[in-house]
Amino acid sequence: MSSSYRPALNGVPRYTSWDKVPAYLYTRTELGKLTPPRKPAPGAVPAAQVLYHGNCYAPLFTLAATVPKRPVSAAQRAALNRARELQHVCRLCARREDEPLGKGRTCDRCRAVQGVFRRHHQDAIDQAVHHVGQLRDGQAVLLMVDDTGDPHRLAVAGRGIAFTTTLTPTPYTVPGQAPAEDALRALRMVAARLESWGNPTPTLLCWETSWQVREGLLRLLVPELPFPCYGDGPYEEVSALREAALSEARRRAGNLPWLTGYNNVVDLQGLYGAWYGQPMHGESDPAYFHPDRTLPLPGAIGHPLHDVAALADALLAVACNDRPTSPVAPWNTHPDAIADLHKDGDG
């Protein structure tokens, strides 16, 4: 219910329309407009009331029940005018708006910047801190491959575990046609290492889209089956062929819980992009901001052993929030908008 709602007063005559109100009765607003201005006397009882705004009642007073208002000094009037003016000025960026800003005195732009800062940058930090905790507790590992679509080498790193393996040791010339037995042997070795480590199904922290990493590894087991890209034909046919290949790959894989189980897979590329804040398509308006979640891994060279270290460094950069983000991120182009968040310890 609105704070301006005024119920009817009991035992006081009511008027349901303004044209029925006698000329000798005044509302508080009307009294203030008289010359000189007047107001209800202390303890004055309304002589009547009038309906307004559909369900509110304004008390009405006779002049006999009022007293003159104390004159407003020049200093008081200046202070009132200043207060009214400040209602149009954002307290964060000092921009002036045509309409009063209301409670909080923040403009639409500053509210938008605060929103994207919390929703993208701060949320990414919180998630990264969670994943660092998973690594610390042995619940997750970092995983990198040299080529998501056609992997040859793989690296795994975590607390108390770090190794690389060649997925296709036998030379081959046709992309995507690696000897399935070599790939299966390498993938089983990964499963054995994780088993001896103590967690056969850790959360897999990858850079690129994690399901694509899994698909690329599973495809090594079925090189003879078609695996078309979406767009190569009708969606239903392409999906059916891809699912048939992956189902057969899971069957051949057998007991590889780290690859075929239901453990979590996490895309750190999107997490890093949300934290870094590079606007997608160069959009500069905070109200329409979307971070670019397809940034390349900083420091990557295409070698899994090196890149898994770069992956760990990127995750720590987000979790610690101790490096510069995009100079065109909304929170960097409008730093005043998040000043309060920093004071509160939220940024």
Q: What is the DSSP string of 73-126?
A: PHHHHHHHHHHHHHTTB-TTT--B-SS---TT---HHHHHHHHHIIIIIIHHHH
Mean pLDDT of the chain: 88
Task: Give the three-state DSSP class for 72.
Answer: coil
Sequence spans of domains, the chain:
14-68, 74-106, 117-343
Q: Is 235 within 8 Å of 257 (Cβ atoms)? A: no
Beta bridge partners of 205: 142, 266
Q: Give residue 281's pLDDT.
A: 85
Judged against a pLDDT cut of 50, whether residue 346 lies above it is answered with no
Q: Which residues contact 206 (CB under 8 A, 6 or more apart)?
A: 142, 143, 144, 213, 265, 266, 267, 268, 311
Radius of gyration, alpha carbons of the chain: 34
CA distances in angstroms from 287 to 102, 281, 294, listed in the order given: 20, 14, 21
Q: Say what percent of the chain tops pLDDT 90.
A: 55
From the list 314, 269, 262, the residue with the least C-alpha distance to 292 is 269
223, 183, 201, 140 alpha-carbon torsion, rounded to 10°: -100
Q: What is the pTM of this model?
A: 0.73
Q: What is the rounded distance in angstroms from the CA atom of residue 292 to the CA atom of residue 277? A: 7
Given the DSSP bridges, would you call strands 66-68 and 38-40 parallel, antiparallel or unpaired? antiparallel
* pLDDT, tens digit, 9 for 90 and up, residues 34-57: 988 999 999 999 999 999 888 889
- The DSSP call for residue 277 is -
Q: What is the rounded distance in angstroms from the CA atom of residue 182 to the CA atom of residue 170? A: 7
Q: Is 90 within 8 Å of 101 (Cβ atoms)? A: yes
* pLDDT, tens digit, 9 for 90 and up, residues 92-128: 888 888 888 888 888 989 999 999 999 999 999 999 9
Average pLDDT in the 181-208 region? 92
Exposure b/e, 260-284, CB count within 10 A at least 16 = b: beebebbbbbbbbbbbbbbbeeeee
From the list 305, 109, 311, 112, the residue with the least C-alpha distance to 210 is 311
Question: From the CB of residue 155, how many other CB atoms can be counted at a distance below 10 Å?
Answer: 22
Identify which has the larger pLDDT, 149 or 269. Answer: 269
293, 131, 314, 334 alpha-carbon torsion, rounded to 10°: 60
